[in-house]
Each structure stands twice: as structure tokens, then as C-alpha cells.
Amino acid sequence: MPRSGEPKRGIRSGQRKARQSAPLNQIPRGQYRSPYAPFKIISDDELDAIHTASLTILQEIGVNFLLPEAREILRQAGADVENDGPRVRFDPAMVEETIKTIPPVFKFHARNPECSLIFGENYINIAAVGSPPHATDLDCGRRTGNFADFKDLLRLSQQLNVSQIICGHPVEPVDLPVNIRHLEAIRAVAILGDGPLFGYSLGRQRILDVIEMTRIVRAVSPEELVQQPSMMSIIHANSPLQYDIPMLKGVIELALHGQVICFTPFTLAGAMAPVSLAGAIAQQNAEALAGFTLSQLVRPGAPVIYGGFTSNVDMKTGAPAFGTPEYAKAVLIGGQLARRYKVPYRSSNVNASNAPDEQSVYESMMSLWPCFLTHCHLIKHGLGWLEGGLSASFEKMILDAEMLQMMVQFLEPVPINEAELGIEAINEVGPGGHFFGSAHTMERYENAFYQPLVSDWQNFENWQDSGSQTAAVRANGIYKQLLADYEEPPMDAAVRAELDDFVDRRIAAGGADQDA
Amino acid sequence: MPRSGEPKRGIRSGQRKARQSAPLNQIPRGQYRSPYAPFKIISDDELDAIHTASLTILQEIGVNFLLPEAREILRQAGADVENDGPRVRFDPAMVEETIKTIPPVFKFHARNPECSLIFGENYINIAAVGSPPHATDLDCGRRTGNFADFKDLLRLSQQLNVSQIICGHPVEPVDLPVNIRHLEAIRAVAILGDGPLFGYSLGRQRILDVIEMTRIVRAVSPEELVQQPSMMSIIHANSPLQYDIPMLKGVIELALHGQVICFTPFTLAGAMAPVSLAGAIAQQNAEALAGFTLSQLVRPGAPVIYGGFTSNVDMKTGAPAFGTPEYAKAVLIGGQLARRYKVPYRSSNVNASNAPDEQSVYESMMSLWPCFLTHCHLIKHGLGWLEGGLSASFEKMILDAEMLQMMVQFLEPVPINEAELGIEAINEVGPGGHFFGSAHTMERYENAFYQPLVSDWQNFENWQDSGSQTAAVRANGIYKQLLADYEEPPMDAAVRAELDDFVDRRIAAGGADQDA
């Protein structure tokens, strides 16, 4: 229920609690933006060729929409729907016209206004890992996802300034019964952090539950919520070219309620998409455009995101590969397509390593650099993803935070002006001198350079004396320190009571069936 | 002596021996080029401001040239030389005019013509680690540099297709006497590999020795060698703004002999250069331009490279930092400056980690991406650099090879045409199907995707069953396999005899004093 008459103090007031444990270096929270032109990996003609191919796919092959209600919406808008379904074919002009109402930029609201984020333009936003069935750390190894690890991962994300959004369960809390899992999980997300919320599209009831929880936590009316995107869901195509019933129910409810739909075809080249990168991306694009079209027919102006997730399988074993050169190219091409349609873009920080080791890091870097080069508005799985998404790693959370901090720092423009060029200082020091004590240095040295979270720049002897720890081992200590220092962000007592009341009532009522 | 009358068979004939051990995935040897526009991190106006500042530094502050012979060359060209030296000030117009003769592109010749490389345009060339005082591997840990490790690192570099050049001793062979070290070391480089050669500028005699060894190995006349750059030396400024005597002797001999001079100011911001990145790069640029000017006065058209090595120290400890966001920006600005002067550009793959761990990898990736984005013509320390250059790591050689292979593969354009867009294949498979057996897949699957050297894409259970090895541990096995499979590249017997004869005579004559 709307709470406009109640006092807002405690909900929106005050600075967000400083998350930084004393000796750890973190960059400030904030909105990160790229000052650099987005990277073009293909020509405009090549981009047009992909666009045209995907419209041809939509027109000649079509997409299966398994929910009759969705087909009816499309049919009424002029799409060619087979009699018995589920195939729907699209007139290219209708698609191009319909998707024009997608907002190129929107604000994604958090219960703490300082955690609200802009999607679009040159903004880059970062989400923690979502959906792994396992959690892992160096002490206890890999275990089945559970609610205790789930909550610790939420706390860790809240402690890391660069982790801005929870986007999917950071690990699947398998010990919570399926029918009430979304209620307990999203209550924990809402309480343990203060960012925007997320719900899985596993049927209409679950999405409606999370939308209502979002409204309660944001303390707004239903009418206000429609105008203020405050939760998100990922809509996967069941590639190739198919949208399943729970996902389509999600699209319809999210669009009706003005909440964010991130369409993400999962087009693994060689498996669910053509083995050629161009073909996989053409199919990805066709699936995305089909989803966009439905969303805008349900409610013109509904906020959507273009999710790219094209990677490939290892053709010798069928194993999925992530953070490869092909993945890097697909991220960049996807970014160009999203810019063409003026739709905010989502990609991911991925790797296929089984440990938070060197491979996990270089595959991540093969993902992150393209994400930053193409102005990726949502970097999903930004922190903690391991093992092709099958594990959430506590140490990888920290290693990723370091990499992301460095990438964000890379976005800070180099000031070039007379004072910074420092000719006077160079003259003062002169040939053969040094700059350690010069006035120019003393004025600037404290904040001149990036200070690392994990990196150890000690000399070899000192590093050896302090235990010869590798970065992953140091990350283990850092995550524990951050968890020890965690404090729950404040929440208005009335909001908390309303949230608890809603969740308890829904649990008492039996929660939700998957297909409800 | 010239050997033009002798048969060339065996020197230049034949394909280079395939370096690949059967089960290891390597990309082919070759010349790597970027099809992408170089990344612009600062505006043209900002670039001009740095250029202008460095000319002001040269005009008003000047550079110390400690070798009288060098000062005399500059004085005759109109530079303002203080009476007693060593300060030299430059008229900006003279600098800009003089450096115009630098070749924007040149071929760097190897004894095996297949290993010759183009410097300039969009070519990217990769060198192994140079000059660390220690070697390290996971089995034996860190030890003082020695000739046995030196030779193993040469063999490993020869085995790795992506390692194209030996650029400095891969580890310092401290067990060789200083006066004959260059003779034994470069003989080993010449014999154990078949790429271009390198000599340190530690006095006139050493450079002349290496130039003569290069001539013998290339089997050309002195007159031919002048026209065919076949060895390189790095010329460091003793920053700030000073060139020492051995380096200047090197510049003069290299220019006279037409061999490659890679000018590389070592401008650590906050120590030997201003704490501000703009100031450090302005100083780097001034030092580079001063060196360029001398080289072109000695011999117009002498091949030179613009080496950027601006990084920063940790202002809390004074420890040098590498592979930071500041380093990434400096690499890109340096690339823009080099392009402005139409001089081939050198940067490096660096990190400050004490182990071949996650930090070593993410700091490397913070170096490599900018190198590739800016068309770095020489990526020095491309493989094996550890601990801020104090150690050569056998495992890091392999990890770097994997990262470099991925970056080179990233340079392969995505083909976008009707066949690759694969609409027919998508139609054939249809919604809800899969592409594993389709004709489109079968035609392409073998070479569709990057095959890794180190990465393990097995599922968790299989990875665990095979020993739960991290990437660094797998790299240890790979380097040993490559060394076990190594075979010396063929060398013409007469060339070998002439080389041995020269080296033995020079050793018998006592080698070279450092200041000779």
C-alpha cells in the first residue's frame, strides 16, 4: 500500500554508511561514466548487415512465443501468427517502428537514493554475480548453494563500493523451499543492502510478489512505481528463437508495472546458435528485437535493456567457453547494435575457470575491457562469477573488485593543463635530480595514483617475510575482513514491518507455484 | 667479413621448424596487425599541449648530454651547448625539422627471413622478457640469473610462436664474466633462436661486437647491414633529462651502422618525473625528442623507436607500480605521441607481482589491452616479466603466451557476409533446435574458435579428477614440455664457424671493458 502520508526519515535520509574497512583501499561509490568514444569493431555497413539479417530471420523464420496471451498481443499489432501457434513472424517495418518507444536512458531507483543508477548514455553500472548453484571459497571449497552463503555474498557486495547492484541470487539458496524462496531471498536482498532489487521471471506470481516487495521497500504508490523502475528481471530467450511461458508472463507483468526487462538471448555459438560469430549475433539480435517488440506493445516506453550473451562452446568437448577472443568481439558488436537501437546495453564479466586463479583473471579481463570500451550500461556477473557461472567465489568477488576499480579509474580523464604539465617543477628539479620532495609532488602525491585493494607492491623480501601470499590468498583475508566489518544499512522500521508482514502473509499462503 | 660468394643454402632456406608440441595449441607464427582504429584517449589539442610543453622543456631547461662527442654533433647542428657542458638546449624548429627523417616504417631483419618483422603502421610485434637479475619457477623458486636459465628461457621463447624477438637478456647471466658476457650471451641468442638480435649499450666496444656478430649471422656485407636493421638496442635516458656516456656512444654507433635505436626514457612519475601524468609524459617526450634529434644528426634516416615507459611509484612506500590505470593511460598517450611524430612505438607488458599469480595477470592485462589498442609496434617484456622486472618467470612466459595469443586472435576481423550470417542454417535448425550437427556447423567447427594453450575448460569434476591444477601449475607443466621438445634451429655451418671464430678471438683478446 502507498505510504505517502508517513514520515520518510530513515528511508532516504542520511549518507550511506561508509563501507570501507579502515586499511582497505576502495574507490568511492558513485556513478561511473566513460569519457572515451565507444569502440567500433565493425563498420556501419557490417552493422547494417547484421541488423538486416535479423529482420529477415524475424520475417521469414519467426520466433516461437509459447504463451497464447503474448501471441494475441503480437497478432493484434499485425504480426503473422500461425493458427495453432506458437510461431510468430514479424514485418520488419512494424518491429522498427514499435521499438522506437524504448527509453534510451532511464533512472533505476534504489531505496537509498544514493544507490540509484542511470542506464544509458556513457554510464557503466556493475552488478554482483547472479544465479550460480554453488558457492566456493579457499577454506571450505565448493558446496551447494545455501541461504547462509547467499546472505554473506549480499553482505560482501554491500561492503564493496564498486558492486552497485544485486542482479539475481548471488548464489542459489537451495535450502529454501522453492515456493517461498523468492520471498525469503528478496527480503534478504532488500534488508542486507540498499540498492535496487531483482526478481526472476519464473511465473506471474513470483514477479508480482517481487514488484510488491519493491514498492514497499521504495515506499511509493503503485502509480509512482510504474514511473520509477526499481527492480529488474532477466528475460532469456530459449535459444534458438523461442520464448517460454514463464518468461513471457514476466515480460507482460514487468512492462505493465514499468519495471526493467533485460532481454538476454543465450546464444552459445555452435550449440544454440550458428557456429559463426556473425550468425550467432544475428540470431541474438533477432531474439532481442522480438522481445523488445512485445514489451513495447504491452506498454510503450517500458524500460528494457539489450543483453548480449554470445559466447561459444569448445567444439571438441561441447564445454562452454567464456572470456575468449570471440567473446570479446561479441561484446563489442553487441554494444554497437544496442547503440544503433538506442537501447541500454548489458554484458557480463565471465570466465570458465574452476578456481579463482590466473585463468579466471585473464578471461575476466578479456570480458571487462570490451565491456568498458563499449560503454556497457550493465556489467552483469561483475564480481564473483566462476566456473562458467556454476559457482560464486568469495575470493573472486575481491579480485573482480580490484579489476573493476582499476577499470573505473581508467575512466578518469588525464588532466592536461599548465599546472599538470609541470614545466616549472621539471625546471626546479633539473637534469639528474629527483621529484620526491618537490612542491609539485607534495601538493599532489596523496591522491595522485590508484591505491590497490589486493595488489601487493612490496619488494620480494618483504613479500616473502609476510608469507609469500598470492593475490587469491590475500583476497581470502580481505573478504573475511569485509564480512567482519559489515553493518546492516538502516531501514525505516515501518517499511521493515510492512515488508515482513507481506512476506509472512505470502509464506503463510503457500508462496508461489512455478507456473502460477 | 662479407660472405656474398658463399652458398646461402641452409641459412635462409626452408620453412622454420614447426615449434608446436603435438598436444599444445599455439597460434601460427606470423606478422600480427590490428584492423582497428587506434584508440584516442586524449584530444588532438591535449596532444599538442604535451608536444608544446616538451619543446619548451628542450628549449628552456635542456638536456644533459654527458658525452662531449654528442654535444659537438648537436652544437654543429645549431643547438645551444653550454661552454663546459653538459647542458644542451634545443631550438624547437630544429628538433621538428631534424626528426622528420625518421623512417615511419622499417623491416627488422632476422637470420631466418620468416622471422623478420615490420615496425610501423598497424603491425604489433612481441618480445620476450629482457634484463631481470633473477629467474624463477615454481619448482626451484627465485635464484640469481645464470647462463643455464638464460639458455632455457631462449629455448622457451623459440618454442612459443607468439614470442617473436629476444630484446635484452631474458635473464642476466651473472655467472658469465662481465667483460665477455655480451659475446657468450649473444652467441647463444643467435644459435638457440632464429630471430633478430639485440645488444646493450654499455660502451662502444660491446655495441660494435654485437653489430659484427649480427652481420656474421645475417651473412651480409657491412654495406648491406647498414641498409638492413638486424639488431636493436634500448637507449634509456637517465631521467630526468640526462643521457649518460655509454648510452650516447650506443646512439652514435647504432645510427652509423643503421641499426635500431629504441629510445626509452624511464619516467616513473613521482620519482624521476613529475607526479602528474601529464608532466611525466611531457618529460618523457622531451627526452625522446632529444634522443631522436641526435640520432638523425648522426645519420638521417637511422631507424628509431619511440619507447614509452611512464609508470608511477607508490607514494607511500616509493615502490614502483606497474600495470595500473595510470600505466594504461600513459601507454595510450605515448602511442598518440608516437603516431604524431610518425615513429614506431614501443611499450611493455608489465606487472609488480612477486609471483606468477592473479595480480601478475590482471596487471599484465592492464598493460596488454592498451598496447594492442594503440598499435604498439614493439611490446617489450611481452612474456615472462615478473616482480617489476626483477625476475624472469618460466610460468609467466606461458601465461603471457596465452594472453598474447588471445589478444592476437582478437585482431582477427569477424567475417560478416551471407554465408557467415547463416540465415539458411538458422532456418534449417528452427526455433527450439540445436546447431551441433548442422551442415553450417560441420563446415566450420574445426577452426571456428580460439583453442587455448593453458586454459582448462573441463567441468569441475573432471578438473578435480585431474588434480585441481591452477593455471600457473599447468603453465609449469607446459614450459617443461616445450623445453623437452625443443630443437635448435638450423644454422649454416660456415656461418656458425665464423661466429665461433669471432667470439673466440674476442674472448681471447679480453672482451670489452664497460667504458670501452
Tens-digit pLDDT profile for residues A221-278: 999 999 999 999 999 999 999 999 999 999 999 999 999 999 999 999 999 999 999 9
- Name the 3-class secondary structure at B218: helix
CA neighbor of A151 nearest in space, from A190, A123, A93: A190
Q: Is the pLDDT of residue A3 over 90?
A: no
**Chain B residues with CB-CB distance to A63 below 8 A:** 431
Q: Give B-chain residues touching A241 at CB under 8 angstroms.
A: 426, 430-432
Q: What is the C-alpha to C-alpha distance for residues B252 and A326, in angstroms, rounded to an integer?
A: 46
A43 within domain boundaries: no
Whether B50 sits inside 8 A of A421 (CB atoms) is: yes
The residue among B362, B364, B393, B407 with the most chain A CBs within 10 A of its CB, best to mutate, is B362
Q: Do B268 and B405 belong together in one domain? A: yes
Structure-model confidence comparison of residues A12 and B113, the more confident one: B113
**Which grid coordinates are listed for A194?**
540498499
Per-residue confidence (pLDDT) for residue B1, from 0 to 100: 34
Domain count, chain A: 2
- All residues of chain B having their beta carbon less than 8 Å from the beta carbon of residue A390 are 460
The DSSP code sequence of B283-332 is HHHHHHHHHHHHHHHHSTT--EEEE---EEE-TTT--EE-SSHHHHHHHH
Q: Which residue of A has its CA nearest to B325?
A: A410
In this predicted structure, the answer to whether residue B22 has a pLDDT above a threshold of 70 is no
Burial class (CB in 10 A: 0-12, 13-18, 19+), A319: middle
Q: How far are the Cα atoms of A458, B185, B211, B244 from residue B205, in angstroms, in the given order?
A: 38, 15, 10, 16
How far off is chain A from B237, nearest CA to CA, in Å? 10
- How many beta carbons lie within 10 A of that of residue A397, not counting itself? 29
Provide the pLDDT confidence category of residue A378 given band limits of 50, 70 and 90. Answer: very high
Checking if the pLDDT of B514 tops 80, the result is no
**CB–CB of B414 and A278 under 8 A?**
yes
For A450, residues 6+ apart whose C-beta sits below 8 A from its C-beta are A405, A406, A409, B324, B325, B326
Using alpha carbons, select from A94, A131, A370 the residue that is nearest to residue A236: A131
Note whether A431 and A384 are same-domain residues: no
Cβ distance B30 to B56 under 8 Å? no
In a domain, A76, yes or no: no
Asked if B244 and B292 sit in the same domain, the reply is yes
Residues A301, A433 within the same domain: no
Edge to edge, the sheet with strand A32-33 lists A32-33, A123-128, A378-383, A345-348, A304-307, A260-263, A231-235, A197-198
Q: Are B359 and A468 in contact (CB under 8 A)?
A: no
Q: Is the CB of B447 inside 8 Å of chain A's CB atoms?
A: no
Residue A104's pLDDT is what? Answer: 98
Query: Does B145 share its domain with B240?
Result: yes
B426 and B362 fall within a common domain: no
pLDDT score for A85: 87
Nearest CB among A326, A457, A460 relative to B317 is that of A457
Mark whether A326 and A441 lie in a shared domain: no
pLDDT tens profile A72-125:
999 999 999 998 889 999 999 999 999 999 999 999 999 999 999 999 999 999
How do residues B451-498 score in pLDDT, each as one tens digit? 999 999 999 999 999 999 999 999 999 999 999 999 999 999 999 999
Cβ contact, residue pair B456, A390, below 8 Å: no
Contacts of A441 in chain B (CB under 8 A): 270, 274-275
Specify whether the CB–CB gap between B232 and B194 falls below 8 A: no
B472 interface with A at CB cutoff 8 Å = yes
pLDDT at B21: 42
pLDDT tens per residue, range B261-275: 999 999 999 999 999
At B370, is the secondary structure helix, strand, or coil?
helix
pLDDT for A316 = 85
Q: Are residues B438 and B382 in the same domain?
A: no
B263 located within any domain = yes
Q: What is the pLDDT of residue A515?
A: 59
Whether A82 is in a domain gets the answer no
Pair A342, A271 in one domain = yes
Looking at the predicted structure, is the pLDDT value of residue A321 above 60?
Answer: yes
Q: If you ran DSSP here, which 8-state letter would residue A165 be given? A: B
User: What pLDDT does residue B85 have?
Assistant: 87
Q: Determine the structural domain holding residue A426 and report its residue range.
A: 418-445
- Is there a contact between A416 and B50 if contact means CB atoms under 8 Å apart? yes
Interface check for B421 against chain A (CB to CB < 8 A): the answer is yes
Q: How far is A336 from chain B (nearest CA, A)?
A: 14
Mutate to test the interface with B, among A43, A44, A275 (most CBs of B within 10 A): A275
Rama region for B494: left / alpha / beta (φ>0; ψ in -120 to 50; rest): alpha
State the smallest CA–CA distance between residue B379 and chain A in angstroms: 18
Element (H, E) at A481: helix A471-485
pTM of this structure: 0.95
Q: What pLDDT, in 10s, does the model give residues A460-498?
A: 999 999 999 999 999 999 999 999 999 999 999 999 999
Picking from B345, B399, B397, the residue whose alpha carbon sits closest to that of residue B372 is: B345
User: Residue A94 domain-assigned?
Assistant: no
C-alpha separations of A442 from A382, A439, B162, B270, B500 in Å: 36, 5, 43, 9, 56
Contact call for residues B185 and B173 (beta carbons, < 8 A):
yes
Q: What is the CATH number of the domain that holds A182?
A: 3.20.20.480
- What is the pLDDT averaged over residues B350-379? 98
Q: Is B380 in a helix, a strand, or coil?
A: strand
Task: Assess whether B436 and B473 both reside in one domain.
Answer: no
Q: Are residues B222 and B361 in the same domain?
A: yes
Residue A42 lies in a domain: no
Tell me which residue in A278, A321, A460 faces B421 most closely, judged by beta carbons: A278
Q: Please name the residues in contact with B146: beta carbons below 8 A apart, sequence gap of 6 or more.
A: B135, B171, B173, B174, B175
Q: Which three cell numbers stand for residue B389?
A: 622486472
Amino acid at A479: Y
Give the pLDDT mean for A55-66: 98
The answer on A174 and A261 residing in a single domain is yes
- Best probe of the B interface among A266, A362, A418, A466, by most B CBs < 10 A, is A362
Q: A323: closest CA among A371, A252, A273, A384?
A: A371
- Residue at B33 is within a domain: no
Rg value, chain A, Cα:
24
Q: Do B391 and A460 touch (CB under 8 A)?
A: yes
| Adjacency order of strands within the sheet including B378-383 | B32-33, B123-128, B378-383, B345-348, B304-307, B260-263, B231-235, B197-198
Q: What is the pLDDT of residues B203-236, one digit of tens each?
A: 999 999 999 999 999 999 999 999 999 999 999 9
Q: Which of A501, A389, A485 is nearest to A159 (CA)?
A: A485
Q: Which of residues 27-56 of B touch A (CB under 8 A)?
A: 36-37, 39-42, 46, 49-50, 53, 56
Residue A3 lies in a domain: no
| Mean of pLDDT values over A296-315 | 96
